[in-house]
């Protein structure tokens, strides 16, 4: 959530920042509602003060034996005015909050301008893509030929955009999860967490999925829970509503969860394979830190996600998302895009974002710099470390051989019981 005081004090700057994101829902409506809310509050307080003073006056009149009827009638009308104004407040305040909840975060000044992914500059690349002396296959063909991926039977069980991992495919998915968790907890210092795979609406509002993106979520009835779209939601909300004492920050969490997304609006895109599923596995990394440390932390978080790709020796590049391609809660984002030879393209495998104080304001995550100091809002960051299914896609396509087998990357072999190659049968 944006800082209302900042919107009020620098409306032109705020409007210009949101225009960079093509956010047309504007500052004007927020300021109109806020101005009316403050005017009503002033009016209510003045009327209540007048009523209190008149109550004392009525007491004195009654005590003197005079008729207090006219003043009582006047105060009755004042009471009706107060009731009407308080009713108006009950309408204004949720309307103001709803507009604020739908405004995206301000892009950082370092974010390049642009309107779509075509405008995202490449920051760096790592490793040249392998040159094949045969026509490389896409992972859906490789997986079917090896008997490790079955999309047809998955569709029979659940419908489109689901997958069955079989045999060595299931083992490789599990091995990738373990490799990522071991790296991030053992070498990068994250605290491993197994969070709930369902969350309430408050948690989703805290990270920015609600109310704007409800159509992308799977809701569970009865109870009103939602399946997690990403572990970012439960991890970021661990300190929600708390004031963290001096010395607590930074917090660093890592978690594996299945993720569930309706993929609303994506029909017709990536209809084959593992790229865009309703259910997929991901290892997520979350930081909660101080404002002055957050952009340095973003660089470190991104390097942690990159290290997984380096260990697996997969070619990738890092792009900086332009203002028009930023996620709702992000002030700055780096995407990691891995090379997929079966598709002849780089595809996103991780997004690493600094959300500054945007999520912390929504979720109420504050900290003290020293004992007794005024609480401040923390900064939150998140990144995929990595999307597991897409990593398996990259392994299959980059390590395929002409005979249809797939070499297992050396870093993954200890997690595969020493298996060094996937073969048919």
What's the pLDDT tens digit per position in 344-403? 999 999 999 999 999 999 999 999 999 999 999 999 999 999 999 999 999 999 999 999
- Residue 129 has a pLDDT of 97
Cα→Cα distances 307→1, 58, 125, 188, Å? 32, 77, 13, 10
Asked if residues 173 and 392 have their Cβ atoms less than 8 Å apart, the reply is yes
| Contact status, residue 291 vs residue 368, Cβ threshold 8 Å | no
Residue among 348, 368, 405, 413 flagged as catalytic: 348
Query: 261, 347, 361, 362: which one is catalytic?
Result: 261
In 3-state terms, the chain is what percent helix, strand and coil (to 5)? 45, 20, 35
Ordered mean pLDDT values, 10 residues apiece, the chain (425 residues): 93 93 83 96 94 87 86 90 96 95 96 96 98 97 98 97 97 98 98 98 98 95 94 98 98 98 77 94 98 98 98 98 97 98 97 98 98 97 98 98 98 98 91
54 as an active site residue: the answer is no
* Residue of 23, 27, 24, 34 lying closest to 13 (CA atoms): 27
Q: Distance between CA atoms of 56 and 41, rounded to whole angstroms?
A: 23
Question: Can you tell me the distance from the alpha carbon of 134 to that of 335, in angstroms, rounded to the nearest whole number?
Answer: 30
Say which of 10, 276, 311, 368 is annotated catalytic: 276
Distances (CA, A) of 393 to 109, 399, 413: 35, 10, 17
3-state secondary structure of 157: helix
Cβ 284 vs Cβ 255: under 8 Å: yes
Q: Helix count (H) and strand count (E) of the chain?
A: 12, 18
Which of 350, 351, 353, 384 is catalytic? The answer is 351
State yes or no: is 421 an active-site residue.
no
Q: pTM for this structure?
A: 0.93
40-76: per-residue pLDDT in tens? 999 999 999 999 988 888 888 888 888 888 888 898 9
The per-residue pLDDT for 266 is 67
Tokens of 234: 């439960």
Judge whether 388 and 177 are in contact, CB under 8 Å. Answer: yes
In this prediction, residue 267 carries a pLDDT of 65
What is the rounded CA–CA span in Å between residue 300 and residue 252? Answer: 12
- 199 SS3 class: strand
As a whole number of angstroms, the distance between CA 246 and CA 239 comes to 14
Q: Which of 20, 205, 366, 390 is catalytic?
A: 390
pLDDT of residue 25: 64
Annotated catalytic residue 348? yes
Active site residue 262: no
Rounded Cα gap, residues 211 and 99, in angstroms: 10
- For residue 367, what are the contacts with CB-CB under 8 A and spacing of at least 6? 243, 244, 245, 246, 248, 249, 290, 375, 376, 378
Rounded Cα gap, residues 283 and 275, in angstroms? 16
User: How far is it, in rounded angstroms, from Cα 196 to Cα 241?
Assistant: 18
Per the CB < 8 A criterion, the answer to whether 130 and 341 are in contact is yes
Is 77 annotated as catalytic? no
CA triplet 166, 171, 175: central angle to 5 degrees? 150
Q: How many angstroms separate the CA atoms of 270 and 273, rounded?
A: 7
What tokens were used for 348?
Answer: 């996103």
Prior bond of 243 cis (ω within 30°) = no
Of 278, 269, 276, 399, residue with least CA distance to 340 = 399
The DSSP string of 231-244 is THHHHHTTTTT-EE
Beta bridge partners of 198: 227
Distance between CA 283 and CA 384 in Å, rounded? 6
- The kind and range of the H/E element at 174 are helix 168-186
Residue 299: CB partners within 8 Å, gap ≥ 6? none
215-221-226-227 Cα dihedral, nearest 10 degrees: -100
CA 367 vs. chain centroid, Å, equals: 21
Cα 178 vs. chain centroid, distance in angstroms? Answer: 23
């Amino acid at each position: 959530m944006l800082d209302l005081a900042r919107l009020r004090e620098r409306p032109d700057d705020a409007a210009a920042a949101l225009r960079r994101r093509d956010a047309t829902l504007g500052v004007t409506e927020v300021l109109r509602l806020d101005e009316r809310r403050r005017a009503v509050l002033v009016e209510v307080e003045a009327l209540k003060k007048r009523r209190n003073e008149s109550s004392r006056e009525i007491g004195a009149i009654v005590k003197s034996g005079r008729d207090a009827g006219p003043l009582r009638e006047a105060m009755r009308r004042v009471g009706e005015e107060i009731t009407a104004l308080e009713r108006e407040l009950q309408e204004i305040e949720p309307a103001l909050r709803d507009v604020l909840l739908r405004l995206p975060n301000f892009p950082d000044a370092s974010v390049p301008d642009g309107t779509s992914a075509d405008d995202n500059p490449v920051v760096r690349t790592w490793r040249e893509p392998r040159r094949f002396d045969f026509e490389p296959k896409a992972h859906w063909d490789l997986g079917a030929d090896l008997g490790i991926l079955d999309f047809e039977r998955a569709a029979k069980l659940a419908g489109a955009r689901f997958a069955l991992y079989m045999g060595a495919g299931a083992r490789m998915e599990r091995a990738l999860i373990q490799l990522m968790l071991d790296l991030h907890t053992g070498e990068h210092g994250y605290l491993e967490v197994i969070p709930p795979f369902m969350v309430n609406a408050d948690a989703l509002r805290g990270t920015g999925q609600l109310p704007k993106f409800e159509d992308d979520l799977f809701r569970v009835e009865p109870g009103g829970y939602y399946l997690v779209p990403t572990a970012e939601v439960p991890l970021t909300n661990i300190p929600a509503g708390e004031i963290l004492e001096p010395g607590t920050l930074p917090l660093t969490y890592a978690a594996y969860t299945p993720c569930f997304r309706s993929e609303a609006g994506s029909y017709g895109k990536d209809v084959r394979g593992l790229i865009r599923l309703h259910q997929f596995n991901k290892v997520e990394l979350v930081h909660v830190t101080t404002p002055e440390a957050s952009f340095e932390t973003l660089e470190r978080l991104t390097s942690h996600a990159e290290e997984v790709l380096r260990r697996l020796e997969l070619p990738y590049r890092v792009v900086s998302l332009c203002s028009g391609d930023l996620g709702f809660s992000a002030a700055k984002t780096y995407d990691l895009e891995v090379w997929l030879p079966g598709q002849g393209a780089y595809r996103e495998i991780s997004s690493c974002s600094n959300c500054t104080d945007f999520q912390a304001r929504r979720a109420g995550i504050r900290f003290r710099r020293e004992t007794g100091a005024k609480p401040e809002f923390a900064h939150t960051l998140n990144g995929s470390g990595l999307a597991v299914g897409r990593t398996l896609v990259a392994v299959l396509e980059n390590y395929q051989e002409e005979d249809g087998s797939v070499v297992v990357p050396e870093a993954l072999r200890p997690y595969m019981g020493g298996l060094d190659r996937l073969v048919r049968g």
